[in-house]
Amino acid sequence: MVAVADTVSLELDDIQSGALHERPSPYVGTYVLLRIDDRASGRELVRRLHPVVDSGRPSADPARDAWVTVAFTYQGLKALGVPRDSLESFAPEFREGMAARAAELGDVGESSPANWETPLGSPDVHVALAALSPDAPRLEAVVERARRARQELPGVEVIWRQDCYQLPTGRTSFGFKDGIGQPAVEGTGISGSNPGEPPIKAGEFILGYPDETGSLPPMPTPGVLGRNGTYIVFRKLHTRVAAYRRYLREKAATREEEALLGAKMVGRWQSGAPLALCSESDDPELGADPHRNNDFVYRDDLRGFKCPAGAHARRANPRDALDEDGSVNVRLHRMIRRGTSYGPMLPEGVLEDDGADRGIIFVFAGAHPKRQFEFVKTQWLNDGIFIGAPAEKDPLVGPNDGSGKFTIPQRPVRRRLQNVPPFVVTRGGEYCFVPGLRALRWLAELET
Amino acid sequence: MAASETTTARPGVSVGPTSEFSLFFHVKPGHGDDLREALRTLQNHPGYRPGEYGMAVATIHEARFVLFDDDTRLLFATSFDGPWDSYMEDFFTSGPTLALFDAVFQHVEGYEGLPDVAAVKAFVLSAQATAAAYARNYGGTVKEIRKAERVNKAFQRVLDDPAAGEGLQHPALKPLLDEASD
């Protein structure tokens, strides 16, 4: 077995900063998708985007600036004329595309690609740009830089734009502070949010470095294209906030019980305070404290009296809860998440749907789309086999069909919620590759 | 190695949450006795000793190692909760399984000198053959079965109490009363 050095030297100057960068809070952002109709124009776009993309060690002060990340779908790399043997060296899931993975991912029924928002899931999606900034003026400036990159390039079309934001409270449409749990990545200097979790090997997130198995992750060829790249997965997820609120209202006798049921489903209170640390009532001070709000494990709560085994956050990262199983290495299934909100928030207290499209843009970054994103999605969120409850799915984001169950351990008698409806509908998404900066230049200079 | 069977991963057959997993290996020439001894040692390990029910991997229902064809071939067969191909890297990077498999696999062809987990995974998958028929007599995962055993044990203790008949008369307990008669 290949020995893994304790420390690795990451080529941070070659890694797009969006991959590892902690975001400012709050922020505003824009996602743009483009189609390349003409290969030469596509390469010229990449050439012009190169200086727009930031790299380097993520700033200690994330509010410093705005930045752009550029990513390509498999169809996009094809449109740029990447040679066949190189295309075939990419991860199979990336090559298939998210629409082709729909059945596996639980994107069925209303969430199936047939119902996705145009052009998501179609072969027209070639380039994805993400621009993020602490405020609107700085975002506009950076979007303008990206826009200029596309000027007078008739062979490149903008086919989709989605604005997004994070509220100053960090809360998403369901009302919960999100994005608290992030792994520390070895060699980046970015500390994780859970002091109990040693930094994850860089190769779990950036291609070209040893990963948690002690090996180099499968890397696209040639090396100049794959090295310092990462895969991202983005999903536009519509949240049925009114239906969610009505469901809780129906199941709860009081507002306090409503808040408790909501917290049991998520694993955290709305403030972000984890049930593992305060299971009786919300503690906003704890929720707001980045040094404490992710500093916990589950070993003292294996039966889930504080935080149910089926709660969303515990499913997505079971920490030490499965250590006794002997079949799971949680460090192989960690994700960098860069989720964000879109659409207007449903005003507090409103129980009727206002017809507005709102939700989250889920973004994953990692070197292993299958054993990270797809594993977490299919084994932990969409299924309950791993917690001994095959009939239960994630109560918040699982593909429930109205027959879902959710068990809340409590004394003397456990509570079981029945007929959990779907609260999240997939509007579309895609697997993308975020090349390093040298790789961007290689793409711009292709001569096929 | 059952080379004709393959190099590509196949998911095996599932019944409910559980899937079958069978591996066929060629024993290294002259290693038959050593392998038998390694398996005897395994059989005397905690979790594998007769009467014990606590294997290192808590998500498999049972496991068997069968030497056949005059100890020139080895079968490993098990039933696992979940799709086993999703967990292959986990098995080969987590302590208990790694040590256990290493002690056995060193006596089969093709195992030595594998450079990384991907190669180990490929080696294992190349030995895998999907069942042509597979059935189960209960639907639960190991976790559910263990829970069911605990619950039944508790129920039997309740029934051992002379007051059980009276206590189970409440309408809410009717399903339990129905199970109390034998």
The CATH code that applies to domain B3-126 is 3.30.70.100
pLDDT of residue A291: 93
Q: Is residue A4 part of a domain?
A: no
Q: Are A243 and A231 part of one and the same domain? A: no
Averaged pLDDT for residues A323-330 = 92
Q: B88 near B121, Cβ under 8 Å? A: yes
> Cα-flanking dihedrals φ and ψ of residue B172, to 5°?
-65, -20
pLDDT of residue B96: 73
B80 three-state secondary structure = strand
Q: Is residue A6 part of a domain?
A: no
Containing H/E element for B20?
A: strand B18-26
Q: How many CA atoms lie within 13 A of B32 on its CB side?
A: 9
| Residue A61 banded pLDDT, cuts 50, 70, 90 | low
Q: Are A259 and A388 part of one and the same domain? A: yes
Q: Are A59 and A179 part of one and the same domain? A: yes
CB contact under 8 A, B91 and A1: no
- Min mean pLDDT across A173-187, A307-321, A354-368 is at A173-187
Q: Is residue A251 part of a domain?
A: yes
- Distance, CA of A124 to CA of A217 (rounded, Å): 29
Averaged pLDDT for residues A100-108 = 97
pLDDT at A4 over 50: no
A413 touches chain B (CB under 8 A): no
Task: Tell me the three-class secondary structure of A346-402, residue by residue.
Answer: CCCCCCCCCCCCCEEEEEEEECCHHHHHHHHHHHHHCCCHHHCCCCECCCCCCCCCC
> Tokens 């998958």 label which residue?
B125
- State the pairing for strand pair B73-81/A336-337: unpaired
- Return contacts of A407-413, CB within 8 angstroms, 24+ apart: A407/A308, A407/A310, A408/A261, A408/A264, A408/A308, A409/A303, A409/A304, A409/A305, A409/A308, A409/A309, A410/A305, A411/A305
pLDDT of residue B115: 84
Interface size, chain A vs chain B, as Cβ–Cβ contacts under 8 Å = 80
- Distance, CA of A256 to CA of A332 (rounded, Å): 37
B165 three-state secondary structure = helix
- Distance, CA of A50 to CA of B149 (rounded, Å): 62
Q: A360 near A342, Cβ under 8 Å? A: yes
Distance from CA of B97 to the nearest CA of A (A): 7
User: A364 vs A77, A206, A337, B180, CA distance in Å?
Assistant: 20, 13, 5, 52
pLDDT of residue A5: 45
Task: Tell me the three-class secondary structure of chain A, residue by residue.
Answer: CCCCCCCCCCCHHHCEHHHHCCCCCCEEEEEEEEEECCHHHHHHHHHHHCCCCCECCCCCCHHHCCEEEEEECHHHHHHCCCCHHHHCCCCHHHHHCCHHHHHHHCCCHHHCHHHCCCCCCCCCCCEEEEEEECCHHHHHHHHHHHHHHHCCCCCEEEEEEEEEEECCCCECCCCCECCCCCCCECCCCCCCCCCCCCCECHHHCCCCCCCCCCCCCCCCCCHHHHCCCEEEEEEEEEECHHHHHHHHHHHCCCHHHHHHHHHHHHCECCCCCECCCCCCCCCHHHHHCCCCCCCCCCHHHCCCCCCCCCCHHHHHCCCCCCHHHCCCCHHHHCCEECCEEECCCCCCCCCCCCCCCCEEEEEEEECCHHHHHHHHHHHHHCCCHHHCCCCECCCCCCCCCCCEEEEECCCCCCEEEEEECCCEEEEEEEEEEECCHHHHHHHHCCCC
Q: Are A171 and A22 part of one and the same domain? A: yes
- Min mean pLDDT across A152-156, A361-365, A411-415, B165-169 is at A152-156
Phi-psi region of A254 (alpha: psi -120 to 50; beta: other; left: phi over 0): beta
Q: Is residue A97 part of a domain?
A: yes
Q: Are A295 and A181 part of one and the same domain? A: no
Tell how far CA A130 is from the center of its chain. Answer: 13
What pLDDT digit, counting tens, does each position of A143-176 carry? 888 888 888 888 999 999 999 999 988 899 999 9
> Tokens 């999100």 label which residue?
A178
| Residue B10 banded pLDDT, cuts 50, 70, 90 | low
B81 three-state secondary structure = strand
CB contact under 8 A, B116 and A329: no
**What's the number of domains chain A is made of?**
2
Q: Determine what percent of chain A is predicted with pLDDT higher than 70.
A: 96
Extract the tokens encoding A101.
């993975």
Averaged pLDDT for residues A200-223 = 95
Nearest Cα neighbor of A229 from A201, A203, A199 is: A203
DSSP character at residue B8: S
Distance from CA of B119 to the nearest CA of A (A): 10
- CB-closest option in B56, B83, B89 to A371: B89
| Residue A57 banded pLDDT, cuts 50, 70, 90 | low
Average pLDDT, whole number, for chain A? 93
For residue A409, cis peptide bond before it (omega within 30 degrees of 0):
no
Q: Which of residues 165-224 of A touch B (CB under 8 A)?
A: 212-216, 218
Amino acid at A437: L
- Distance, CA of A138 to CA of A66 (rounded, Å): 6
Q: B69 near B18, Cβ under 8 Å? A: no
More confident residue, B47 or B9: B47
CB contact under 8 A, A375 and B58: no
ipTM metric: 0.90
B65 three-state secondary structure = strand
Highest mean pLDDT among A6-15, B82-91, B163-172 belongs to B163-172
- Distance, CA of A45 to CA of A150 (rounded, Å): 6
pLDDT at B46 over 50: yes
List the domain boundaries for chain B: 3-126, 142-178
Q: Are A211 and A248 part of one and the same domain? A: no
Chain A: residue nearest B121 by CA? A213
- Distance, CA of B23 to CA of B122 (rounded, Å): 12
Task: Tell me the three-class secondary structure of B35-63, residue by residue.
Answer: HHHHHHHHHCCCCCCCCCCCCCCCCEEEE
What pLDDT digit, counting tens, does each position of B49-87 carry? 988 998 888 999 999 999 999 999 999 999 999 998 899
B86 three-state secondary structure = helix
> Tokens 């098995």 label which residue?
B91
- CB-closest option in B16, B90, B118 to A329: B90
> A332: which chain B residues are within 8 Å (Cβ-Cβ)?
89-90, 93
Tell how far CA A389 is from the center of its chain. Answer: 25
pLDDT of residue B7: 30
- Distance, CA of A268 to CA of A245 (rounded, Å): 16
- State the pairing for strand pair A27-36/A127-133: antiparallel
- State the pairing for strand pair A424-434/A230-239: antiparallel
> A390: which chain B residues are within 8 Å (Cβ-Cβ)?
16-17, 141, 144
- Distance, CA of A322 to CA of A318 (rounded, Å): 7
Q: Are A120 and A265 part of one and the same domain? A: no
More confident residue, A135 or B157: B157
> A328: which chain B residues are within 8 Å (Cβ-Cβ)?
87, 90, 94
What pLDDT digit, counting tens, does each position of B135-163 carry? 999 999 999 999 999 999 999 999 999 99
Q: Over the Cα atoms of chain B, what is R_g? A: 21
Q: Determine what percent of chain A is predicted with pLDDT higher than 90.
A: 80
Q: Is residue A356 part of a domain?
A: yes
Q: Are A353 and A398 part of one and the same domain? A: yes
- CB-closest option in A2, A212, A329 to B115: A2
pLDDT of residue B3: 32
Q: Are A340 and A229 part of one and the same domain? A: no
Report the residue of A385, A405, A413 to disrupt the B interface, i.e. the one with the largest count of B CBs within 10 Å.
Answer: A385
pLDDT at A445 over 90: yes
> Tokens 């009276």 label which residue?
B166
What pLDDT digit, counting tens, does each position of A212-231 carry? 999 998 999 999 999 999 99
What pLDDT digit, counting tens, does each position of A328-375 carry? 999 999 999 988 999 999 999 999 999 999 999 999 999 999 999 999
Domain around A387 = 239-428
> B57: which chain A residues are within 8 Å (Cβ-Cβ)?
325-327
Q: Are A170 and A303 part of one and the same domain? A: no
> B141: which chain A residues are within 8 Å (Cβ-Cβ)?
385, 388, 390
A372 touches chain B (CB under 8 A): no
Containing H/E element for B115?
A: none
